[in-house]
Structure 1
Amino acid sequence: MNELISYPDGIHALESGYGRPLLAAIHIVVEGDRAAIVDTGTNDSVPRVLTALAALGIAPENVDWVILTHVHLDHAGGAGSLMCALPAARLLVHPRGLRHMIDPTRLWEGTVAVYGPERAYELYGLLVPVPPERIVPATDGLDVLLGERRLRVFDTPGHARHHICLWDDRARAFFTGDAFGLSYREFDVDGRAFALPTSTPTQFDPEAMHDSIDRMLAMQPQAMYLTHYSRVTDVPRLGSDLHRLIDTMVAVARAARGDGVTRHVEIVAGLEQVLREEAARQNWALDEEQTLELLRMDIDLNAQGLGVWLDSQRAVEMQPA
């Protein structure tokens, strides 16, 4: 399979098929004849996962864990369907996300609010509920075992309140979902990766994101496995860049005037300028037009998240002392 990339320590990245190539990775951790899957992609990703398991010599009944970093549908939309195909697996998900896996109705409604019903169905299909007896709450500090390999849950809000990262003791690495930003391979220069923060349309919290990044950096990881897109090293440099860019994004949002669409357009323009400057600073492999086109969806989602965060800050400031 040319869509399966193998890394050290039995870690494999699978192209999820979501959107464009190199947008979203599913990670498969293999320990002996057992496996865990970190994030599931969408319903369309399920056949890819089963094919990848066969290529790795892992029987479906030997998958012990399906682990969701959070329940946004590019990470978790295929969880219910995949669990149907993995008879012995348990689903590990943040306690705040657990109810959405049992009954995905509100999760679907939130997705429709962002994308509209037709586009949401085109992207994700019908969401399949997971029986509650197969779900384990991913509480902070929880250790789960894959054979003799220990995987530890870190509660990492900032991108979303229901976000976890998974520390792999064997690999000295985190599976970070969106908590350590995104790092698209198209921007790499001679193997040097770059990272950008990613907010969310509803739950962005910059201070929590700073804290989550610092908590992961304190473990001195050798690598991070991002959903967007897979393995990066030189972790302290990337962490420093993320901190700087989070503060820059917040400054852009605070400087925006007006409300609603007017403010959103202004935040989008500000984020585009930040990316132009970052591309020049880092000498990204793509030119300005290619950069903005590749990041178009991320710019819009970040602007939405910053707008919702601004409104939440104003609501707090208006509360009586």
Structure 2
Amino acid sequence: MDFEHGITAIDTGFHRPAFDASHLLIERNRAAFIDVGTNYSIPALLAELDLKGVAREAVDYVIVTHVHLDHAGGAGEIIRQLPNAKLAVHPRGAPHMINPARLVASASSVYGAEEVKRTYGDLVPVPAERVVEIRDGAVIDLAGRPLRCLDTPGHARHHFSVWDERSRSFFPGDTFGLSYREFDTDKGAFILPTTTPVQFDPVALKGSIARMLLFKPDAMFLTHYSRVTDVERLGRDLFEQIDAMVAIAESSAGQAERHEFIKEKLAELYFERATAHGCRMTRERMAELLSSDIELNAQGLEIWLDHGRR
């Protein structure tokens, strides 16, 4: 899907249609990708370059907002296909791109080793000399178009978001939550936070969202799923839900089946808020679309309960 200012959203094919996006930015026939999906996503990204008439040699950067595998699992493979591209990554994430063994082990602890291999393939290491560590405030120059990177922890400590002054938009990875197009109503987009394991920090996450809102962006280009506007309202929704999700986690103390309790309460929270937003899908359909997010959010909240508040 093409947007103004040389921005294209590419469906990476991960999980289901319109679930996981890579964004291609083109400026003066030079290009950059922001988040790339998995190894299996790379043919779609390269096909979009061909469609746009952009040579692979003209891609200057592959930017990964953080190194979770639905964002960066294919980084090594696409770097191998793009001879001049540098990988821009948070300093905390850079070692995992150069040597992905720990990244694979961490994902395997959440999903299981067989599932990781089936879903993401074999991760390709990125040569160290092609890695650029992006610190807070760093500016990536894409053919004269400045892309300013802000450290935005909360979802993960190795997360940054990209401010594009040209479009007055952020590419916030997962820091500004998830917004699936199936939930759109005449009131606009519906959004929810993501507390995916293992580094959820509610105070840091709210601080990162607040920091981005200071820029008064016209839009957010989410990895899940692409462009949303009415950003101030969505920011308020995220603040409210982060607090509600933390309250659910804290109320789980003493529950014999804590994980199932948190999942049930999250499903109730999202259904109530989506219904109030005007969404008319059934509870069953909503649970189907959000099943993986509810599971991962519950896991993230539990890890925060057990370790993050120390």
Normalised to the residue count of structure 2, the TM-score between the two structures is: 0.98
Asked if 1:8 is matched to 2:36, the reply is: no
Q: How large is the Cα RMSD of the aligned pairs?
A: 1.1
Distance across 2 between alignment mates of 1:191 and 1:55 = 34
Q: CA deviation at 1:313?
A: 4.8
Q: CA deviation at 1:79?
A: 0.2
Asked if 1:159 is matched to 2:155, the reply is: yes
Asked if 1:284 is matched to 2:279, the reply is: yes
Asked if 1:187 is matched to 2:175, the reply is: no
Report what 1:319 is aligned to: none
Distance across 2 between alignment mates of 1:304 and 1:117 = 17
Is contact 1:279-1:288 (8 Å) kept?
no
Asked if 1:299 is matched to 2:264, the reply is: no
Q: Given the alignment, which residue of 189, 211, 231 partners 1:235?
A: 231
Asked if 1:44 is matched to 2:73, the reply is: no
Aligned partner of 2:265: which letter?
Answer: G
Is contact 1:257-1:266 (8 Å) kept?
no
Q: Given the alignment, which residue of 252, 256, 259 partners 1:264?
A: 259
Deviations, residues 226-266 of structure 1 (Å, cap 9, x unaligned): 0000000000000000000000000000000337x821111
Normalised to the residue count of structure 1, the TM-score between the two structures is: 0.95
Where structure 1 has 5 or more consecutive residues not aligned to the other structure, the ranges are 317-321
User: What percentage of aligned pairs have identical amino acids?
Assistant: 53
1:27-42 correspondence runs (5 A)? 27-42=23-38
Is contact 1:186-1:285 (8 Å) kept?
no
Distance across 1 between alignment mates of 2:29 and 2:280 = 40
Is contact 1:154-1:166 (8 Å) kept?
yes
Aligned partner of 1:286: which letter?
Answer: M
Aligned partner of 1:300: which letter?
Answer: E
Distance across 2 between alignment mates of 1:127 and 1:81 = 8
Deviations, residues 43-68 of structure 1 (Å, cap 9, x unaligned): 00111111000101110000000000
Q: CA deviation at 1:270?
A: 1.0
Report what 2:146 is aligned to: 150
Distance across 2 between alignment mates of 1:62 and 1:191 = 40
Q: Given the alignment, which residue of 133, 140, 146 partners 2:129?
A: 133
Aligned partner of 1:57: which letter?
Answer: G
Distance across 1 between alignment mates of 2:146 and 2:187 = 30
Where structure 2 has 5 or more consecutive residues not aligned to the other structure, the ranges are none
Distance across 2 between alignment mates of 1:276 and 1:87 = 46
Asked if 1:108 is matched to 2:104, the reply is: yes
Distance across 1 between alignment mates of 2:275 and 2:51 = 41
Equivalent pairs counted in the alignment come to 310
Report what 1:87 is aligned to: 83
Runs of 4+ aligned residues of structure 1 deviating over 6 Å after TM superposition are none
Report what 1:124 is aligned to: 120
Q: CA deviation at 1:287?
A: 2.1
Is contact 1:199-1:302 (8 Å) kept?
yes
Is contact 1:188-1:285 (8 Å) kept?
no
Report what 2:61 is aligned to: 65
Asked if 1:77 is matched to 2:77, the reply is: no
Aligned partner of 2:83: which letter?
Answer: P
Q: CA deviation at 1:285?
A: 4.2
